[in-house]
Amino acid sequence: MRQGIVERIKRNLYSLKRAKEKGNKVGKLSFKSEIRSIPLKQYGITYKISGDRNRVKIQGIKKKFRVLGLHQLPKECEIANGLLVKKPSGYYLYITCYLPKEEVLKEIKRKQTKQIVGIDLGIKHQLTLSTGEKISWYIPETERLKRLQRELARKVKGSRNYHRTKHKLQKEWEYIQNKRRDIQNKVISYLKSFSLIAIQDDSIKGWHEGLFGKQVQNTGIGGITARLKRLATLIPVVFVGRYEPTTQVCSFCGHRQEVRLSERMFKCQKCGRDIDRDVNSARNILKVAMKRLADPVKSALPVDCGEVTPVEWAVAHDEAGSPSLK
Ligand SMILES: [Zn+2]
């Protein structure tokens, strides 16, 4: 385990070095009194799941841990490395496991009951689909979080009470994050039922910094695009450029006209059809994607599922929830 930690520090140093070479600003390394996660490499040696699947033995610790949720592991999977994580609410074990790719794809195919879809990202409705469906959610910071923040500010830094409040605050934060992630999971799982997804490669970061900062943050929509990028290794996801005109074009006849931000409906001056502004945009995104797929020169993006390597899986797992140690 120590070896794993050392390797991780080496890896981090190496990526810092690369970031520096690229010209990014790189700070100094600072001392950390504790680490929040321990890599458990080599299943069967550093950690082992009991036969009845409710306990885990970790090397160096005599007592077996009772672990909830181990039943979620698929029966026929190959268990690889794990990660023991300390979160404000307790200890968690992340387990990477491998399934035969054919079976994963078969399962995805089975769930693909719907056709292609275009997605428009927005502020009021986070996702508008070309089918006309609108998906919106909003998970603001809780009152409790705000109260704890005020409380913490009054405490003497470093005191016992300070740490106690800080821990409560971190726990509350984790709770809000979990809620946001839960919605993301549900949205992604729904989107998986489409056989092709087209989405605008929007700069969420730009929104973040601008007018809509808090609102965007409170929905975790940024996570959705990141998740879709990973999903692209399994089902076709086409990212449409940011500068492609999608809101100002009629999705029925292709007529282009000026559209003000306040107009919620797109009223075509040529063919006379009325359509919800966001649905129109989503339909156009899908159209652009389909046009690009039909043109092999322009379709630089992978159309088919591509190869999913264990490394990609591992990265996906890593990004999914482990706290960053950088
Ligand atoms: Zn029209």
Segment 37-58, tens digit of pLDDT: 999 988 988 999 988 888 999 9
Q: Please give the Cα distance from 267 to 315 (Å, whole number).
A: 45
Same domain, residue pair 76 and 18: yes
The arithmetic mean of pLDDT across residues 80-88, rounded, is 93
The arithmetic mean of pLDDT across residues 21-35, rounded, is 83
Give 206's pLDDT tier (boundaries 50, 70, 90).
low
Distance (Å) from CA 196 to ligand 1 centroid: 25
Give 234's pLDDT tier (boundaries 50, 70, 90).
confident
Same domain, residue pair 55 and 66: yes
Would you say residue 242 lies in a domain? yes
Res 304: pLDDT: 41
Same domain, residue pair 123 and 265: yes
116 or 262, greater pLDDT: 116
**Pairing state between β 127-129 and 114-121:** antiparallel
Would you say residue 301 lies in a domain? no
The residues with which 266 forms a beta bridge, in sequence order, are: 275
pLDDT-wise least confident of 20-29, 35-44, 124-133, 162-171: 20-29
The arithmetic mean of pLDDT across residues 126-151, rounded, is 92
Q: How does the average pLDDT of the chain come out, rounded?
A: 83
User: pLDDT > 70: what percent of the chain?
Assistant: 85
Residue 292: which of 244, 232, 252 has the closest Cα?
244
Would you say residue 307 lies in a domain? no
Distance (Å) from CA 134 to ligand 1 centroid: 22
Same domain, residue pair 228 and 288: yes
Give 312's pLDDT tier (boundaries 50, 70, 90).
very low
262-291 pLDDT, tens digit per residue, is 888 999 999 999 999 999 999 999 999 988
Residue 121: which of 240, 33, 230, 21 has the closest Cα?
240
Residue by residue, DSSP assigns 193-254 as TEEEEEEE---HHHHHHTTTHHHHHTTTHHHHHHHHHHHTTTS-EEEEPTTS--SSB-TTT-
Same domain, residue pair 6 and 24: yes
28 or 45, greater pLDDT: 45
Same domain, residue pair 37 and 125: no
Same domain, residue pair 64 and 111: no
286-292 long-range contacts, CB within 8 A, separation 24+: 286/116, 286/117, 286/118, 286/130, 286/198, 287/118, 287/251, 288/198, 288/240, 288/244, 288/246, 289/118, 289/196, 289/198, 289/238, 289/240, 290/116, 290/198, 292/238, 292/240
Same domain, residue pair 94 and 106: no
Give the torsion sign (CA, 84, 85, 86, 87).
negative
For residue 237, the domain's CATH number is: 3.30.420
Distance (Å) from CA 93 to ligand 1 centroid: 54
Distance (Å) from CA 318 to ligand 1 centroid: 46
Distance (Å) from CA 248 to ligand 1 centroid: 11
Q: How does DSSP classify residue 256?
A: B
Would you say residue 152 lies in a domain? no
Residues, the chain, total? 326
**What kind and span of H or E run contains 179?**
helix 160-191
Residue 284: which of 131, 118, 122 has the closest Cα?
118
Would you say residue 187 lies in a domain? yes
Give 64's pLDDT tier (boundaries 50, 70, 90).
very high
Domain hosting 68: range is 2-98
Res 173: pLDDT: 94
- Is residue 116 a contact partner of residue 291, using CB atoms and an 8 Å limit? no
Give 261's pLDDT tier (boundaries 50, 70, 90).
confident
- Is residue 252 a contact partner of residue 242, using CB atoms and an 8 Å limit? no
Same domain, residue pair 209 and 251: yes
Same domain, residue pair 125 and 234: yes
The residues with which 114 forms a beta bridge, in sequence order, are: 194
Distance (Å) from CA 194 to ligand 1 centroid: 27
Is residue 301 over pLDDT 60?
Answer: no
The arithmetic mean of pLDDT across residues 11-22, rounded, is 88
Would you say residue 157 lies in a domain? no
Res 161: pLDDT: 95
Q: Please give the Cα distance from 36 to 84 (Å, whole number).
A: 8
Give 117's pLDDT tier (boundaries 50, 70, 90).
very high
The arithmetic mean of pLDDT across residues 89-111, rounded, is 88
Is residue 311 over pLDDT 50?
Answer: no
Distance (Å) from CA 275 to ligand 1 centroid: 10
**Pairing state between β 114-121 and 194-200:** parallel
Q: Please give the Cα distance from 259 to 294 (Å, whole number).
A: 29
Same domain, residue pair 73 and 188: no
Same domain, residue pair 40 and 122: no
Would you say residue 163 lies in a domain? no
Contacts of 51 (CB under 8 A, 6+ apart): none
Distance (Å) from CA 246 to ligand 1 centroid: 13
Q: How many domains does the chain have?
A: 2
Would you say residue 167 lies in a domain? no
